[in-house]
Structure 1
Amino acid sequence: MDNATLSKSAFMHLISLLGSIGGRCSLLILIFMGQQNAIATPNLLAIDAFKAIMVDGSDLPNALNQPIKEFSLAAIADGDMEPIPYQIDEYNIGGAVFFEGWDVPRAGTEDIFDPADKLLFIYKDAGSRRESHHRFDGKIVHEIALTGDTGDVRYVYLVQNSRLRSEEQYIRYSAEEALVETDFFSVTYNKDNHMKWEDFTVFNYDGEENPFDALKIVLNTGILTNFVRVGLNNDDLVALPKGEVIGPIRSTTQLELTFWFLGLPYMSISVQIHHYPNSLIYDIRAMIPFFRRLALADPEILFGLEGNSLYGTEVRTAGGPKVPTLTDGYIDENEEVHIDGGISIKNNWVWATTKRNLDILGFLHFSTDRTQEISFNYNDDDKVIDLPERFPGQLPKVGYKIHALPTSGFFGFVVDLHFSNGFKGEPESFVPKAQRLPDISVFTPQ
């Protein structure tokens, strides 16, 4: 009897011990699964992390024709489903951000999510895939999957009627101070002319002064003939803000840029400046009047970012030599080769490394099929005076030259400027990575 009791007691103790071990095993399995889940979404490379992802409204059918204010974005972070920064911008029929009072109509209905509107968020905020145990306020209407070039997949979720919103702002804007600030840079515009900078600060830049003097647009043209040519610079090209669309991902300023000649407004064009966490994009569009265009003889546009004493800066161009230019205050033969054949319409990246914890990568593309010949706009001269400027010299000036304008009608081009604390490797490797966006797939939860 005692032996039987002892056996039963031992048996119950064994069961208890196994249960305890099993509980620990279960806990270990859960921890392992959580670690595996975290491994499924590794940190993005610096070149990818702050890319702005845009999804057309037409790709989000469950959100169409409903109030924009009802929608928000969420992702899995640290094992929980959390709201992430996002914005939804309304667009006009010309494919640009819509502004009330501008002469291009909205491509849909006010405050309604239309096919032409765009959802924006930052790539690094996407997370692992949602699982059944993840709870969140509101209704999930779409799962958006982002597949990178290495095959890794990250997810965000479009949510309707959630009370939760992220308070993070990648872009901070002050209309009163004409100031745009991100975690990477800040720019203060001249309130009377946004083509002029009062200040451009790059955080973590290893230099004492502003790295850039100015961003310049110049129209060089003859009047009726080439006998007399004039250059209209940032003093003659007056850009006045007509509106702002401010969001945590992107701040867009609508400018009316007027070409003044002999004290008279000669031509007005549209400029939208898009401010992203680590980039500036200038979207320039014009409807060129036929008779006024006739008065211009061989016009050309020069777009250039002018450095402030960035001695030692090296510049590579898409079609130029692999030997970079060197900023030393003088133009040499190698720089002439870059100027003559450094870029083309199809292959036009320009990369400058200051060796001061600051790189700049630029691209140009035309908004329509009406393209024009382009070339590398470059100068390395410590003595030249090119007003208006805040600092003397062009050390260096880097940008693009458009050699002609169409005789009439719509014409537009976009210049992208991307800033980095330093791109890794050679441009033949990192330029395609900088241009590449993840593949986007949209799913509807069952």
Structure 2
Amino acid sequence: MGKLAVQQLFLMASILLLGTSVQASNDLDQQINKLLQRPVLLKANQIPRLGGIALRRIQVIAKGSDGVVKAIPFQLDEFDQDGFPMVAEADDIVVDGEWGVLDANDEVLFMASDAGSKLSSVELKDFHTLYEVSMVTGSSEKFVYLTGVRALPNHPKHYVHFDQEKAIIKTDWYQLTLDQSNPVIWKELFYYNYGGAEKKPTESLLDTMKVRLHSGVFTRFMNISLSNKHLKARILRVKNGPIRTVIQLEIRVVVAKIPVMKIGMQFHVMPQMIDFPSLVAIPGIFDRVMVEPTMTISLDWNDLRSSEVFTALYPKKPAIVDGHLSAHEIALRQSGINNDENWIAIDTGKNFASVFSLKLPKDKDVGVLSFFYDDSFVLADAPESVLGQGPNMGWKIRDMPSDVRYYMTPSLFFIDSLGDVPVVDLVSYGKYSTSAVVNDTPVH
């Protein structure tokens, strides 16, 4: 076989593999879309003709089932130089680019369910469209269009909302109530599709979220144990977007009047999940004050008996919530997860499941991660409003470093069931739909 023929075969094989890879990616995207309602995300560098245009002029439109072209709910988020969506223009935050215009790292968000049929060439001209965005929803192809002229009234629908006065997060799928004086204390979680007969509609699925710091102070012989209520957390700003509400917090940990940790955190509230991107700063004094510290971050569920609990390293061998710690559950504490593979999941089998994952930097020492877990309906572990750990599951971090600054992102999904999508794929690709195809439209 000649050299040219070999090159042609290699090229054909490469194209075939690429096509197979793209098809597999699209198939996975469709599988995840069946599992949860998630935003479509476009990076501004995908739509360069809108670059530099004032945000107030940009609009996302679609043709409804009635044949009328309307604006759909959408969101434009600008980013600061730390990589966080900007909640508002402020003196203490440096925008990445120019405030009020679309820059390369900004994002456009909308919901695929609002897409419609293809516009005609006349409609493309009438509405000054610059981009056509196509996506497969179910068995059909749907479209939305991006314009550089805001000619239609904005759509009033919000898929997510945070009532700051009542401290209630609400979407079409769930409601989460925070403590009004401390947003890292969670009080109630309702998931509207849950079908557990043993729970009344007024009973929360979640008892509370627990953040604990256990440590010696100056010496291992003088110990302290701090919980959520000891964290000095306050909401700085809120952006109630229709697709992704952003709540910006500042959290400080103070021991013996000495600040030992500062966390800049955001809640990214979306229809079926919450992201918690965080910038953690631990000063050099940390290891002089704190001796052998360990931190736990966990969700204490409210009597979800008979549920199955899965971990990243045991995705096919679940623990069963029955009020007693089995040998398998005890083993999971040691070997259920590690720093790189750390997702944990619970499936009630009654139209509610949840996945909790943690994205950590690979180039920073952040400590050693293990699975924190208790399964008991009678064990008290304050602060809590309901007796028992039904179960209490999360992460334990030991060997915490000092004099470091790093990013981490916990993520929490609320879905009907774990379904057929491998949890590792849900964690890696499930936050946003990114398979939409962007095409230029003729400039009129």
Matched with 1:98 is 86
Match status 1:383 vs 2:378: yes
- Correspondences of 1:175-186 after superposition (within 5 Å): 175-186=164-175
User: Residue 394 of structure 1 corresponds to which residue in structure 2?
Assistant: 389
CA distance in 1, matches of 2:31, 2:360: 30
Instruction: After TM superposition, list the pairs within 5 Å mapping 1:252-263 onto structure 2.
Output: 252-262=246-256
Residue in structure 1 matched with residue 43 of structure 2 by the alignment: 56
Deviation at 1:175, TM superposition (A): 1.9
Whole-Å Cα distance in 2 between the matches of residues 273 and 439 of structure 1?
A: 25
Aligned to 2:101: 112
Q: Distance in 1 between matches of 2:35 and 2:63?
A: 19
Does the Cα contact within 8 Å between 2:36 and 2:415 map onto a contact in 1?
A: no
Percent identity at matched positions? 25
Q: 1:406 aligns with which of 365, 378, 401?
A: 401
Q: Give the drift of 1:240.
A: 0.8
* Corresponding residue for residue 122 of structure 1: 111
> How far apart in 1 are the matches of 2:305 and 2:375?
9
Partner of 1:70: 57
For structure 2, which runs of at least 5 residues remain unmatched after alignment?
1-29
1:151 is displaced (CA, Å) by 10
Give the TM-score normalised by the residue count of structure 2.
0.82
Alignment check: 8 A CA contact 2:64 2:70 kept: yes
Pairwise CA distance, 1:440: 4.3
Q: 1:436 to 1:333 in 2, by over 3 A?
A: farther
Tell me the equivalent position of 1:86. 74
CA distance in 1, matches of 2:259, 2:283: 13
- Superposition pairs for residues 224-239 of structure 1, below 5 Å? 224-239=218-233
Could you tell me how far apart the structure 2 residues matched to 1:75 and 1:406 are? 51
Contact 1:317 1:342 survives alignment (8 Å): yes
Shift of 1:95: 0.4
Give 1:443 deviation, angstroms: 2.6
Which deviates the most, 295-304 or 66-75? 295-304
Deviations along 1:219-274, whole A, 9 cap, x unmatched? 22332343333222111113110000111101111111121324665433211111
d(CA) in 2 for partners of 1:407, 1:290: 5
Aligned match of 1:445: 441
Q: Is the 8 A contact 1:75 1:156 kept in 2?
A: yes
Aligned to 1:163: 152
Q: TM-score, normalised by structure 1?
A: 0.82
Distance 1:146 1:231, change over 3 A: farther
Asked if 2 retains the 8 angstrom alpha-carbon contact of 1:195 and 1:238, the reply is no
Q: How big is the shift at 1:154? A: 4.4
Work out whether 1:330 is the aligned partner of 2:324.
Answer: yes
Question: 2 CA distance for matches of 1:283 and 1:77?
Answer: 35
Residue in 2 aligned with 1:4?
Answer: none
Pick from 339, 343, 356: which aligns with 1:345?
Answer: 339
Asked if 2 retains the 8 angstrom alpha-carbon contact of 1:137 and 1:164, the reply is no
Amino acid at match of 2:344: V
Whole-Å separation in 2 of the counterparts to 1:376 and 1:414? 17
Rounded Cα–Cα distance in structure 1 between residues aligned with 2:181 and 2:396: 26
Letter of the aligned partner of 1:68 in structure 2?
L
Aligned partner of 1:400: which letter?
W
Measure the CA separation in 2 of the matches of 1:214 and 1:203.
18
Paired with 1:351 and 1:163, the residues of 2 have a C-alpha distance of 43
Q: Quote how far apart the aligned CAs of 1:124 are.
A: 2.9
- Secondary structure, aligned partner of 2:285: helix
User: Quick one: which amino acid aligns to residue 93 of structure 1?
Assistant: Q
Q: Distance in 1 between matches of 2:90 and 2:431?
A: 33
Report 1 or 2 for greater relative contact order, CA contacts < 8 Å, sequence distance ≥ 6: 2
Q: Is 1:217 aligned to residue 204 of structure 2?
A: no
* Structure 1 residues without counterparts, runs of 5 or longer: 1-42
Matched residue count: 404
Following the alignment from structure 1 to structure 2, what is the Cα–Cα distance between the partners of residues 420 and 93?
33
Aligned-residue CA RMSD in angstroms?
2.9
Q: 1:243 aligns with which of 232, 237, 240?
A: 237
The Cα shift of 1:317 comes to: 1.1
Range that drifts further, 226-235 or 355-364: 226-235
2:16 is aligned to none
Distance 2:190 2:355 in 1: 17
Moved more, 236-245 or 120-129: 120-129
Query: What SS is found at the alignment partner of 1:323?
Result: strand
Structure showing greater radius of gyration is 1
Q: Whole-Å Cα distance in 2 between the matches of residues 215 and 374 of structure 1? A: 18
Instruction: Report the 3-state secondary structure (helix = DSSP H, G, I; strand = E; otherwise coil) of the residue aligned with 2:417.
Output: coil
Moved more, 276-285 or 420-429: 420-429
**Distance (whole Å) between structure 2 residues aligned to residue 263 and residue 133 of structure 1:** 68
Please tell me whether the aligned partners of residues 124 and 441 of structure 2 are also in contact (alpha carbons under 8 angstroms).
no
